[in-house]
Structures are given as C-alpha cells and as structure tokens.
Structure 1
Amino acid sequence: MTSMLERTPAQKPALSAREIEILRAWLLSESKSEAAARLYVTAATVSTHIARIRSKYARVGRNATTKTALLARALQDGVISIDEL
C-alpha cells in the first residue's frame, strides 16, 4: 500500500533547446519584451513559445498557468537554478 506522502516522480515535458532558452530568458527578465530583445526576437515569438511550454506542462499533468508556476516547474526540472535568480 502506498503512503499519501509518497509521490511518483513528476514527468518532465519534452522541451526543445529553443524553448528552454526562451523560458530561461523570460524567467530572468522583467517582461516578455525584455526577453525578446535579449534573444533578438519579437515579444510575440516569446509569447508563442511560452504558450507551447505551458501546453507541454499541461499534457504531463503539471499545469503552469502563471509565470510563478513556470518558475517553480523550471526549478523542479533543473532548467534554472535558484542561484541564477
């Protein structure tokens, strides 16, 4: 019998290298516009990637509908470390 405190490991979504790059830039920026400027893309491109990332997290049962939630997922999955923030 499984204890209520035992959890199965969280499944990580299959994020592409570009999605990780954009997610990291956005999390380390004040805005999508700032992240876009850092990466030489438009804010709309950043928004599109963030929407896809959120969708991938939702598909593995780990919804991340806010920037704070995506930050938590990125920390959990080793995409970013607390020391970088």
Structure 2
Amino acid sequence: MTAVLDPSPLRTLTPPALSDREKEVLRAWVLADSKVGVGRRLYISESTVNTHITRIRAKYAAVGRPAPSKASLLARALQDGIVDITEL
C-alpha cells in the first residue's frame, strides 16, 4: 500500500500588524524568564510589558490566531519569524 498525501493546501497564516516595539517586547518576553526581566532589559516598567503583551494578544486574536498563553505566543513568534528556533 502506498501513502497518499492530503491534497488540501496548507493554511496561510496572516500575521498581525505588530509595531516594531511590540515585536521587540514579544521577542524579549518569549526569550526571557519574566516580565520584570524584560522591563529591566528594555528600560520599561512591568506594567508597560503587560500592556504590550495584552495588545499583542488582541492583535493575534483579531486575525484569527489567538495566543492566550506564553507558549502560544512563542509559537506565533516562531511562525511569523520574530524569533528563530536557534535562539531558544
């Protein structure tokens, strides 16, 4: 018996319109241990990190790619080229 590949096309992923700063915060957060550490590294408060993450999640949800957890945001960052697998 031979294997048959599914002929359906791969789903196209629509990236959200993240600002450069949002990408910077997302990248720093998925590579960091804490939001406090991200804030120190980027010279912003933990509250500001939280605000950016909330807005990033809303933008992903708006394009049909919800990311309710840090793991799902990491997946989105990898899918959209914001983080490279070799950096993990």
* TM-score, scaled relative to structure 2: 0.89
Give the partner amino acid of 1:75.
L
Q: Counterparts of 1:4 and 1:60 in 2: how far apart (Å)?
A: 25
Structure 1 length-normalised TM: 0.92
**In the superposition, relative to structure 1, how do residues 6 and 26 fare at CA in structure 2: closer, same or farther (>3 Å)?**
same
Give 5+ residue unaligned stretches, structure 1: none
| 2:11 maps to which of 8, 11, 25 | 8
1:4 is displaced (CA, Å) by 7.6
| Equivalent position of 1:82 in the other structure | 85
For structure 2, the residue ranges without an aligned partner over 5 or more in a row are 1-5
Using the TM superposition, give the Cα deviation of residue 28 of structure 1 relative to its aligned residue in structure 2, in angstroms. 1.1
> Secondary structure of 2:23's match?
helix
Question: In structure 2, how many angstroms separate the alpha carbons of the residues matched to 1:33 and 1:74?
Answer: 20
Q: CA deviation at 1:5?
A: 4.2
Q: Find 1:71's aligned residue among 59, 70, 74.
A: 74
The percent of aligned pairs where both chains have the same amino acid is 54
Match in the other structure for 1:33: 36
Deviations 1:8-41 (A, max 9, x none): 3111000000000001111111000000000010
Alignment length (residue pairs): 83
Q: Give the counterpart letter for 1:15 in structure 2.
A: L
